[in-house]
Amino acid sequence: MIKNETHFDGSARATFRVASGMLLLFSMFLLVLNIGCRSDGPTTTASDPQLLGSDEQMTLYGTPNKIRVAQVPDGQKTIRFGVVTDTHIDATTSDTKWWGSDRYGYNNSDYMNRNRNTVYEMNRQLHPNDCLGVVHIGDMIEQSPSQDKYATQQVIAFRQLYENDYPGHHAGYIRGRSENYSNGNRVNVPVFPTVGNHDSPAPGSWHKPADYISERVKGAPGILSFYGRGSYIWRWGMYVFIQLGLWAGSNDVWNAPPLRDSDVDLAKLTWLKEWLKNNVGDSNLGILIFQHYGFGCGEQWWTKAMETSELNVLCRREKETDPSNPYNIIGIFVGHQHNWGQDRVYAGKDSLGKDVYFDQYRFPDVGKDTDHQYFGYGYAVVWLKETQMTIDWRNGNNGKWSHIEKSIHTGR
């Protein structure tokens, strides 16, 4: 049998040993380099601004799906939905710069834990088969207008908790946290957001929180009308739901005191007035108003004249001294004050000289837990049942429920 053999002389053997050694050293170098580049988080590349904190990331955070508005027969009078407000998502550690060092990254704050707990508990009570959605009444994030240059990450954290169809990690994240802001807690029904003063940009500043609402809501099937950031209308059965941002005449921006007449968006008041006139009229549909500022919360937020301008629209009158012919306002639902309660809002006299009042409902916050001793933090469940509205609010500190009932009537 003939064997194929290769014979090396001394010089060839030496050359082979040197080449083999160089190859071994190069392989070890690649291994060390790979280990040194590894991290527990996602791999970053120069072509991925989502991960590098570049200027592009301040506007690139992923596009949300359009919100799903459940279809309800127009004549239906029994519906169920949730209410939450002032979540004040606080997921970053810095209010002074965008990136820059390891000090600026994820903040696993008490605010975040309270939001996770609230979402967990809401999911136990509010199921997609019997709950149409959750209405959020503003202050989605903790950001104030002077600190909003890194608000993208706060909005992403809000989305991971309160966007039931959040599309995934392509929507961005803070270094090292990926999609874990929520720790697996995500609301299981659609959330209808609006802006609070912490979400509203100062004139000329960045406005990602408000833009998010437009991206999520504007043009969605079932949204009957949309005005600017945070203000829109939809209908469930015999009830019209109206989100108004800060209030019915608020601008797209947050206005710090002292307030001026120019701070009122007259076109927005006209939008609401004309929509109600053309689409509600004398039908006696039930109207539910949601806005961040409540009547009587303080003139540093909105003045008595501003309050009156909204009441004029709801009462179908031109000025305060005219007789009130109110729409069927089931309730005005507000946040901002971080406490639980019910108020009667005086709205003038009707054509018979009788006093007109609207019922206003205040809801505690989720994020800050401002009135820990008295109110705690939590969420509400609202039932509209033929001739009765019930509101049950859950205190996240002790698990106890508060209860309000009101007689209602819709239709002829």
* Model confidence pLDDT, tens digit, residues 159-175: 999 999 988 755 555 55
Same domain, 338 and 192: yes
Top-confidence residue, 24 or 283:
283
Q: Which of 319, 139, 378 is nearest to 246 (CA)?
A: 139
The pLDDT score that the predictor gives to residue 323 is 97
User: With a threshold of 0.85, does the pTM exceed it?
Assistant: no
Q: Count how many domains the chain has.
A: 2
Flag the least confident range among 71-80, 180-189, 276-285.
180-189
- pLDDT of 148 strictly over 60: no
The pLDDT score that the predictor gives to residue 261 is 78
- Cβ-proximal residues to 143 (8 Å cutoff; 6+ apart), any chain: 151, 154, 198, 199, 209
Same domain, 97 and 162: yes
Q: Is the alpha carbon torsion for 229, 232, 391, 316 positive or negative? A: positive
Q: Which of 388, 405, 410, 384 is nearest to 131 (CA)?
A: 384
Q: What is the Cα–Cα distance from 37 to 231, expressed in whole angstroms?
A: 47
* For range 71-91, the mean pLDDT: 95
Same domain, 105 and 185: yes
In a domain, 337, yes or no: yes
The pLDDT score that the predictor gives to residue 202 is 63
In a domain, 56, yes or no: no
Cβ atoms within 10 Å, residue 27 = 10
* For range 215-239, the mean pLDDT: 95
Q: Which of 306, 360, 356 is nearest to 330 (CA)?
A: 360
Top-confidence residue, 94 or 212:
212
Secondary structure of residue 348 in the 3-state scheme = strand
Residue identified by tokens 């390891």 is: 102
CATH number, domain at 137?
Answer: 3.60.21.10
* Model confidence pLDDT, tens digit, residues 243-292: 999 999 998 666 667 787 778 999 999 999 999 999 999 999 999 999 99
Q: Which of 61, 75, 11, 66 is nearest to 285 (CA)?
A: 75
The H-or-E segment that residue 156 falls in is helix 151-162
Neighbouring C-alpha atoms within 13 Å toward the C-beta of 309 = 19
- pLDDT of 343 strictly over 50: yes
Task: Take residue 289 and report the two structure tokens written for it.
Answer: 């108003």
Task: Take residue 189 and report the two structure tokens written for it.
Answer: 């029904």
Same domain, 116 and 167: yes
Same domain, 297 and 396: yes
- Cβ-proximal residues to 405 (8 Å cutoff; 6+ apart), any chain: 388, 389, 390, 391
Same domain, 33 and 77: no
The DSSP 8-state label assigned to residue 293 in this structure reads: S
The pLDDT score that the predictor gives to residue 255 is 64
Same domain, 112 and 22: no
Secondary structure of residue 407 in the 3-state scheme = strand
Rounded mean pLDDT of the chain?
A: 81
Same domain, 159 and 27: no
Residue-range definition of the domain harbouring residue 33: 10-38
In a domain, 136, yes or no: yes
Q: Which of 381, 388, 390, 382 is nearest to 410 (CA)?
A: 388
Q: What is the Cα–Cα distance from 353 to 349, expressed in whole angstroms?
A: 5
Residue pair 167/64 in contact by the 8 Å Cβ criterion: yes
In a domain, 235, yes or no: yes
Distance set, CA 127 to CA 84, 132, 224 (Å): 15, 8, 24
Top-confidence residue, 361 or 5:
361
Flag the least confident range among 123-132, 190-199, 354-363, 364-373.
364-373
In a domain, 43, yes or no: no
In a domain, 3, yes or no: no
- Cβ-proximal residues to 234 (8 Å cutoff; 6+ apart), any chain: 69, 192, 222, 223, 224, 240, 241
Give residue 77's identity as a one-letter amino acid code.
K
Q: Which of 97, 117, 96, 92 is nearest to 107 (CA)?
A: 92
Cβ atoms within 10 Å, residue 389 = 20
The DSSP 8-state label assigned to residue 57 in this structure reads: G
Same domain, 19 and 142: no
In a domain, 412, yes or no: no
In a domain, 373, yes or no: yes
- pLDDT of 206 strictly over 70: no
Same domain, 155 and 218: yes
Same domain, 235 and 153: yes
Q: Which of 163, 154, 196 is nearest to 63 (CA)?
A: 163
Same domain, 222 and 284: yes
